[in-house]
Structures are given as structure tokens and as C-alpha cells.
Amino acid sequence: MKVWDWPVRLLHWALVLTVSAAWISGGSTGPLHEWLGYGAGGIVLARVGWGLVGGRYARFGQFVRGPGATWRYLRAVLAGRAPRHLGHNPLGGWMVLALLGSAGALALSGALYVTDWLWGYEWLYRLHAALGWALPALVALHVAGVVFTGRQHGENLVRAMVDGRKAPPAGDDVA
């Protein structure tokens, strides 16, 4: 069944590409890094907008759970009995927020750094650099979570983010 709509998939992969290219070009002082950062920031803003008004599984309200539900889910994961979710599971929901927040803060700090107002401030440079290293760490956790969850539930979550489809629930298969 169709779970991920085309805007979610397009914005996901566009963010992967722009953030990867911006990270690779991070040591340069040319305009490419700056424009990739603006692009990533725009993608984050578009995804936040789509998270508010998009389809069922795109909306933050569908997959961002409170701390209690998230801790219960984490305990179920550690016990090997986490329920399958058609959309993001509670940990995945918080990872979406962490990734979007970090990418957005990274784009904003970079954009501010090149303004006349904040050009050359060491604290802003250090913040941008720290965010530049935190984001790949979050991406690594995200990929590990996707691999772990995919294996746990016997589904290819990367394919699902390409074609938007996941197997429909079988009885009480899905939370």
C-alpha cells in the first residue's frame, strides 16, 4: 500500500543530496557550499510545511509521539517486541525532527555567518562546524535505525522511501 507520498520522498532524497554535497564542499570557500546550504534550508522549510499540511503519513501529528509513548516503544525495541508501524515509529519520528532541526540550524548558521552583521564571529563559525559534524552522526544513527527496523520487521525501508509502498498490515501487525 502507498505510505510515503511523492513530496515526502522527493524532499527526503533532495535533502540527502544537498546535505551530502554541502558536507563534501565544506572545506571550500566558494559559492557552491553556500548555495547548497540555502537549498538544504529551503528543503527543510518545505518539509516542515508538508509535515503540517501534507498527507496522513507525512504529518508530524501522525508520527511524533510524546516522551511516554517513545520510551515505551524504546523498551519494546530493546526487548525485541517492538510493533511495526506503517509510517514512522516513535523513535523515527523524533529522528525526523532531530535531522530537520539540525539541517535547518546548520543552514541558518551558515546563512548568518556570511552576513555583514555576523561575518567573522568565531562562536558562529564554531557552531556551524559543530552542527556540520553532528548532522552526519545523526544520519548514521538514522541509517542504523532504518537497517535495524527493516530487519526486525522483514521489510525494505529504503525501497519504501523510493517507491512509497509498504506491505499492508496483517491483523495486529501494525501499531
From CA 83, how far away is CA 112, in angstroms rounded?
Answer: 43
Please state the rounded mean pLDDT for residues 92-104.
98
Q: Which amino acid is at 33?
A: H
Cell of residue 46, nine digits: 518545505
Work out the pLDDT band at 175, boundaries 50, 70, 90.
Answer: low
What ranges do the domains of the chain cover?
Answer: 6-163
Q: Which cell is 18 given?
A: 544537498
The hierarchical CATH code for the domain 6-163 is: 1.20.950
Helical residues (DSSP H) of 6-86, grouped into ranges = 6-24, 31-53, 60-63, 67-78
Q: What mean pLDDT do residues 21-41 have?
A: 89
Q: Tens of pLDDT along 10-19?
A: 999 999 999 9
